[in-house]
Amino acid sequence: MNGVERNVERNIRHLATRDELFNVREDLLREVASAKSDLSKTVSLVGLLQFLGIVGSILAILSFLTK
């Protein structure tokens, strides 16, 4: 075997199989779905806190103006 054939054989041993690629794809899809869910919860919580902050500010302004 010459040097080129040895390099080819070495590279072939490092290639991923179809099953390995499928497993990686499935894991990646699960992680993306989980991140999407977490992001959605975070955005909802931030929106709620912002709304409560605005309502609190309006109530404070109205309280100050009615004194």
pLDDT, tens digit (0-9, with 9 covering 90-100), for 43-59: 999 999 999 999 999 99
Give residue for tokens 């099953």.
19
Q: Tell me the residue range of the domain where 24 lies.
A: 3-65
Q: Is the pTM of this model over 0.85?
A: no
Q: Which two tokens stand for residue 32?
A: 């993306």
Average pLDDT (4-27) is: 85
| pLDDT value of position 13 | 78
The tokens describing 22, both together, are 């499928």
pLDDT for residue 40 is more than 80: yes
| Total domains, the chain | 1
Task: Name, in order, each residue with C-beta under 8 angstroms of 5's C-beta and a sequence gap of 6 or more.
Answer: none
Q: What is the pLDDT of residue 1?
A: 65
